[in-house]
Amino acid sequence: MRKGIVSSQRRLLEDKNSTMTTTASDIDRPLLLFDIPWSTYKGIIDALPQQHFRHSYDQGTLEIFSRLIYGVPWESYEAILEAFGDRRFRHTYKEGTLEMMSPSEEHEWLKEFIGRLIEMAAYELDLPIKSTGSTTQRHPELLRGLEPDLSYYIQHESEVRGRRTSDSASTLPPDLVVEVEITHKIIDRLEAYATLKVAEVWRYRDKTVEFFALGESGEYARIETSVAVPQITSDDLTRFINMLDEHDENSVVRAFVVSLRKKS
């Protein structure tokens, strides 16, 4: 195993030991991936050494017995991404350590709803926007990669307008990404976004939305009002999302639009 990968594993364990919300059971909890074609499964197997990848595969269902796989070279990581193709593969990659996740119904529901609010805000406020969804953000020299829940170009939309493909090593990072965190992650995804120089992150966790802006120090700081969408605060977004406990989505979206129009 390469020295850099060993160091990454050691740092990850140190981070894990300092995070009270992460336990050994979080790492060892089996992960289920559904509707995995044989060709995708074979591509994953070919990319990963068998000793690092305990699993079972049965008629399209892939069960992985640990969320974390250590000692994954960058070339193997890219081969796994190629095996998944256009299929979603929610993950974080950091210096040889790969964490895999299987989104729940709640995760997907909230992600889609937040996306509706962002796109409605851009429409109402006449903000240029390019939605790039869960496009994997990665950089081979930095040995970082992850799939956001949502990503957008707003301030720099004109620079990527009409672009169909991108070179992961040189692509301008999105102006805004959204993270919906229903279960706690082992690898720090904010640190990965900071390394990739993503300017702003919205994170939903524990029924609360937090906004983070990347500072000159290269670290994120909490902010109340979005930089990408200046008329929205984290309290606003939290309030409208929590309205879903008692109201249907369209009713909440209408209330959100009324709020925007009062501010503009």
pTM greater than the 0.85 cutoff? no
Q: Do residue 178 and residue 243 come from a single domain?
A: yes
User: Does one domain contain both 154 and 140?
Assistant: yes
Asked if residue 255 and residue 163 are part of one domain, the reply reads: yes
pLDDT above 60: residue 34: yes
Residue 20 has pLDDT above 70, yes or no: no
- Least-confidence region, from 50-54, 105-109, 113-117, 135-139: 50-54
Same domain, 111 and 70: no
Candidate from 106-110, 166-170, 254-258 with smallest mean pLDDT: 166-170
18 and 45 in a common domain: yes
Same domain, 109 and 77: no
- Compute the mean pLDDT over every residue in the chain, rounded to the nearest whole number: 86
Is 124's pLDDT higher than 80?
Answer: yes
Q: What is the pLDDT of residues 158-179, one digit of tens each?
A: 999 988 776 554 579 999 999 9
On whether both 213 and 195 belong to a single domain, the answer is yes
CATH number, domain of 176, equals 3.90.1570.10
Task: Show which of 73, 100, 127 is a domain's final residue.
Answer: 100
**Residue of 217, 145, 151, 221 whose CA lies nearest to 187:** 145
Q: How many domains, in total, are found in the chain?
A: 2
Is there a single domain that holds both residue 93 and residue 149? no
Listed residues 100, 129, 163: the one ending a domain: 100
219 and 167 in a single domain? The answer is yes
Sequence length of the chain is: 264
Q: Which residues form the domain of 140?
A: 105-263
Shared domain for 163 and 240, answered yes or no, is yes
Give the closest residue to 168 by CA, choosing from 152, 188, 147, 182. 147
pLDDT digits (tens, 9 = 90+) for 196-223: 999 999 999 999 999 999 999 999 999 9
For 55-82, the pLDDT digits (tens) are: 899 999 999 888 888 889 999 999 999 9
* Percent of the chain scoring above 90 in pLDDT: 65
Domain end position, chosen among 100, 131, 156? 100
Q: Are residues 7 and 31 in the same domain?
A: yes
Q: 133 CB contacts (<8 Å, ≥6 apart)? A: 150, 151
Position 156 pLDDT exceeds 70? yes
